[in-house]
């Protein structure tokens, strides 16, 4: 191992030691997460300045940083399926009827799809205001390779339709979906878990003693899974530090500056859509400022991890313990929100890319017919968008293919590879906030929100007392 790599790894270990000392000194959990975020930004920038983003030293160092960064995300993914299953089954058992389940599902999915449509409109108009265009972009070696890979995988996005999408989410093999083998695996696990819960309600009518035993088993399973979640979440500050260091150290600042207009437009669109979420919270009787304070820690993790799926455990915990959302609604919103209606990846990003390309082939992006077609495609394409890195790319491929844009347009996605991590962090945070918003709004509309919990002064570090 190179001496410089060893030195870089030793510095990371020292920073880990500092975070561990803060934990032993009972520094609040949220504060430790933000300190880790700041340390990651500073250390990543220093590595970038010393070696450059493409240096072998940085790449080798990142491989070791990934033990903590990607390892943490892997552990979160490990608990997603068991957490979703036990949470949804337990929640359905508490409902005691199927009518409430139907209302929760319809409202949650409806809100997710409505917000992704709004996100698409915002992306379209912001791209127009900033005058974004694909003309003049320079294609380098990495970008050319990425574009070629995207063109090779274009077939995955062809033939997308509402009927096919609905068929895809039906779990033909639930055990396969438990491995996360498909883009729609999480939704399929949710559906399978819902079948188990509904079946248990049916058994309860004829053999209540059996259902009581099953209910007791699920309570034990839920307690164990949540304990595992707590153990994994203890690693959050270390994971955030490693992930943020990687992002800053591997970013090419020159490329970012050359594409600054696209980066700026993206974050303006993300901020506008985030404001829409806060407006929805306000319209159903929630205080946007209180809401923002409650969800900020989970959005911070989503920002650094760039994974909606990996954020599911924190998402559920935030909804139930901080916002007063009922268990059933929280689990449905977090699970569906990781793969359906992702406002940033499936809404804003594809719409902005289309605006950059469509005028070059003579399409009027401001015509009502084109806008209606684009939004319809975005809504349908938002089904099954993977809740991990790469979901936005697949969503863009779906939209480009459905609109019949040429192969040269698809190559545009490859041109943006250098700034992809920077934008993807904001997109992921918006995706997660969209899921949380859908849960809160649904819970409020159904009258299932504990507003005493929502208005309480406690924040995430008090819920995380056992991990501090």
Quick: pLDDT tens for 187-245.
788 888 889 988 988 898 888 889 899 999 998 998 898 888 888 888 888 988 998 89
Which of 81, 404, 278, 53 shows the shortest CA–CA distance to 89?
A: 81
CATH number, residue 408:
1.10.3860.10
Contact, 455 vs 281, CB < 8 A? no
Question: DSSP strand E in 269-379: where?
Answer: none
pLDDT at 18: 95
The whole-angstrom separation of Cα 40 and Cα 37 is 5
Quick: pLDDT tens for 339-389.
788 898 889 988 988 888 777 777 788 889 889 988 988 888 777 665 555
pLDDT at 365: 82
Name the percent of the chain lying above pLDDT 90.
31
The whole-angstrom separation of Cα 207 and Cα 223 is 25
Quick: pLDDT tens for 10-36.
999 999 999 999 999 988 877 888 899
The whole-angstrom separation of Cα 169 and Cα 457 is 40
**Greater confidence, 460 or 452?**
452
Q: What range defines the domain where residue 120 resides?
A: 3-467
The whole-angstrom separation of Cα 431 and Cα 303 is 10
As a whole number, the mean pLDDT across the chain is 82
**Greater confidence, 337 or 388?**
337
pLDDT at 55 over 60: yes
Q: What is the dihedral of CA 448, 115, 316, 236, to 10 degrees?
A: -150
The domain total for the chain is 1
The whole-angstrom separation of Cα 309 and Cα 330 is 14
pLDDT at 113: 93
Q: What is each CA distance from 168 to 316, 372, 426, in whole angstroms?
A: 25, 25, 28
**Greater confidence, 213 or 161?**
213
Residues contacting residue 314 through CB under 8 Å, at least 6 positions apart: 233, 297, 298, 301
Which of 215, 186, 450 shows the shortest CA–CA distance to 335?
A: 186
pLDDT at 151: 47
The whole-angstrom separation of Cα 203 and Cα 159 is 41
Query: Residue 259: what are its φ and ψ, rounded to 5°?
Result: -115, 25
Contact, 249 vs 58, CB < 8 A? yes
Q: What is each CA distance from 169 to 40, 365, 379, in whole angstroms?
A: 38, 32, 15
pLDDT at 146 over 70: no
Tell me, yes or no, if the pTM score tops 0.85. Answer: no
pLDDT at 400 over 60: yes
Residues contacting residue 185 through CB under 8 Å, at least 6 positions apart: 176, 177, 178, 179
Contact, 249 vs 44, CB < 8 A? yes
pLDDT at 138 over 50: no
Is residue 307 very low, low, confident or very high in pLDDT (cuts 50, 70, 90)? confident
Q: Give buried/exposed letters for 227-250 (b at 16+ CB in 10 A, else e).
A: eebeebbebbbbbbbbbbbbbbbb
Q: Reduce the secondary structure of 138-196 to three states and give it as a string.
A: CCCHHHHHHHHHHHHCHHHHCCCCHHHHHHHCCCCCHHHHCCCCCCCHHHHHHHHHHHH
pLDDT at 182 over 80: no
First to last CA, the chain: 35
Quick: pLDDT tens for 255-270.
666 678 888 999 999 9
The interaxial angle of helices 185-206 and 327-337, nearest 10 deg, is: 150
């Amino acid at each position: 191992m190179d001496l410089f790599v060893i030195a870089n790894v030793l510095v990371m270990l020292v920073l880990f030691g500092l975070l561990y000392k803060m934990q032993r000194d009972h520094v609040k959990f949220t504060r430790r997460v933000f300190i880790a975020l700041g340390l990651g930004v500073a250390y990543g920038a220093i590595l970038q300045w010393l070696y450059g983003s493409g240096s072998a030293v940085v790449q080798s160092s990142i491989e070791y940083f990934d033990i903590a960064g990607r390892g943490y995300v892997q552990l979160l993914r490990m608990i997603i399926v068991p957490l979703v299953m036990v949470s949804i089954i337990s929640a359905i058992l508490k409902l005691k009827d199927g009518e409430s389940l139907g209302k929760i599902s319809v409202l949650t999915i409806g809100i997710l799809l409505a917000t992704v449509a709004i996100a698409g409109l915002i992306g379209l108009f912001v791209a127009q205001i900033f005058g974004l265009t694909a003309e003049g972009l320079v294609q380098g070696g990495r970008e050319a390779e990425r574009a070629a890979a995207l063109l090779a995988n274009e077939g995955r996005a062809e033939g997308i339709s509402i009927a096919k999408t609905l068929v895809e989410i039906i779990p033909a093999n639930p055990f396969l979906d438990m491995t996360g083998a498909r883009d729609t695996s999480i939704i399929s696990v949710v559906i399978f878990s819902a079948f188990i819960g509904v079946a248990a309600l049916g058994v309860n009518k004829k053999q209540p003693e059996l259902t009581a035993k099953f209910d007791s088993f699920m309570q034990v399973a839920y307690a164990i899974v949540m304990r595992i979640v707590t153990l994994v979440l203890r690693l959050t500050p270390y994971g955030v530090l490693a992930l943020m260091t990687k992002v800053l150290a591997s970013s090419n600042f020159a490329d970012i500056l050359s594409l600054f207009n696209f980066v700026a437009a993206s974050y303006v669109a993300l901020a506008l859509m985030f404001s829409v979420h806060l407006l929805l919270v306000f319209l159903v009787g929630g205080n946007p400022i209180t809401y923002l304070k409650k969800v900020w820690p989970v959005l911070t993790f989503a920002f650094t991890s760039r994974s909606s799926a990996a954020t599911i455990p924190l998402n559920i915990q935030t909804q139930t313990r901080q916002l007063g959302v009922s268990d059933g609604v929280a689990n449905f919103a977090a699970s569906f929100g990781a793969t359906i209606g992702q406002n940033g990846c499936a809404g804003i990003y594809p719409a902005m890319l289309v605006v950059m390309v469509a005028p070059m082939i003579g399409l009027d992006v401001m015509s009502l017919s084109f806008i209606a077609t684009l939004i319809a495609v975005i809504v349908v394409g938002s089904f099954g968008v993977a809740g991990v890195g790469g979901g936005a790319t697949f969503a863009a491929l779906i939209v480009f293919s459905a609109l019949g844009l040429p192969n040269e347009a698809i190559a545009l996605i490859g041109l943006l590879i250098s700034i992809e991590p920077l934008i993807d962090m904001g997109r992921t945070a918006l995706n997660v906030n969209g899921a949380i918003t859908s849960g809160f709004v649904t819970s409020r509309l159904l009258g299932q929100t504990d507003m005493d919990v929502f208005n309480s002064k406690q924040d995430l570090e008090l819920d995380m007392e056992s991990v501090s």
